[in-house]
Amino acid sequence: MYIASVGVSKFCFLFSLAFCGLLLLLIPALQPPSRQVIRPQPRAPVRSTQTSQLHHTRVPAASVNAEGSDSASWLSKSSAAQEGVIKTVGTRTDSHSLMRGTDFPLFGGKGSYHSRSRTWELLAFKDIFIAVKTTRKYHKSRLELLIKTWVSQAKEQTYIFTDGEDKELQMRTGANIINTNCSAAHTRQALCCKMSVEYDKFIESQKKWFCHVDDDNYVILPRLLQLLSSYHHSQDVYLGRPSLDHPIEATERVKSDGSVSVKFWFATGGAGFCISRGLALKMSPWASLGNFISTAEKIRLPDDCTIGYIIEALLEVTLTHTHLFHSHLENLRKLPMDTVLEQVTLSYGGFENTQNVVSVVGGFSKTDDPTRFKTVHCRLYADTDWCPKHNAHFKS
């Protein structure tokens, strides 16, 4: 009896040990799965939003603030008048005008503001090729005024395309005068001949921007530099002002005995226009080495229309309309006086409309300065030796 009870006790003890061991094995499996804690990763340092803005601008342009500080005095003190450099970094989304009273339309229709991120680039005057179209008979009455005023500030970047030799003017002024050997007649053939030479010379120059103006335009160089710096020369950019409020319709002659109608916008050469190098290179099949003249013959239109035809109709790149360019075809007296120095180009009326000039007040009377170009120039570059000395402190 005693032996049997001892056996039962041992059996119970061993059974208890086995049961406890089994429980120890089962406990981890019976527990709910633990949640995996994801620890936050350290953030990369965030740059200040100021780096996406105009980082360092040194441009002798007109007033940039709402109060309208005196542009002439600011220009005369700015070191950029000599350096001519705009420094920009990063990208920005343009949805507003850079300057009061001006417009910088972006990638689209007339006067529109399409919010689109664009890369700005470091741009200097040396990057711009400015072509001035003239004719021999206007060397004295028109061209000498330009050379005395705005061309004197960008002599190395300005190329004057004419139809006759003028060694005396070239020696006296040091201007880059190119004889195209084109006809002096004011015909579409002669105009297209000069534009063909302009295009080829620009391509040879390796410069980033091609800008064309006429011999009755004043180019406000700081504003031109600032406008172009808001684009990149590798983009497809065609900037200018149409003389019409609708696309022009032309008849395009095709090889197969017929013709087709084509519509496109074009920037009038009388106000000036600019083309990026990236776009200009794409124009080459229709514009280089004399092809421009044959392209113009297909639509039988002048040089500025042919430029628009190649860019808009053939390459399908849209003209960026801007009201910062001005020609003698518009009523220049309507341009507000406080925005005159904020434009890119100005003009004046011809013999038939001598009163069609911009309204600007300065040290010259209308008799002494009928085009108002000398007055504009002295407002921009007050320390010019022939400008009235009190002009530097003048405020409109």
Catalytic sites, residue numbers: 304
Distance CA 335, CA 32 (A): 80
Q: Which residues contact 76 (CB under 8 A, 6 or more apart)?
A: 381, 382, 383, 392
Q: Which residues contact 110 (CB under 8 A, 6 or more apart)?
A: 242, 321
Work out whether strand 248-253 and strand 209-214 pair parallel, antiparallel, or are unpaired. Answer: unpaired
Work out whether strand 238-240 and strand 116-119 pair parallel, antiparallel, or are unpaired. Answer: unpaired
Work out whether strand 91-94 and strand 116-119 pair parallel, antiparallel, or are unpaired. Answer: antiparallel
- Enter the tokens of residue 380: 């921009």
Q: Which residues contact 14 (CB under 8 A, 6 or more apart)?
A: none
Q: Locate the DSSP E strands across the chain.
A: 56-58, 85-87, 91-94, 116-119, 123-124, 128-133, 158-162, 176-179, 209-214, 218-219, 238-240, 248-253, 259-264, 273-276, 320-321, 345-346
Query: Burial of 96 by CB count in 10 Å (0-12 exposed, 13-18 middle, 19+ buried)?
Result: exposed
DSSP state of 263: E
Residue written as tokens 């880059």? Answer: 176
* DSSP secondary structure letters along 112-148: -B--EEEE---EEGGGEEEEEE--GGGIIIIIHHHHH
- Enter the tokens of residue 137: 């008979």
Contact of 386 with 358, CB cutoff 8 Å: no
Distance CA 395, CA 58 (A): 21
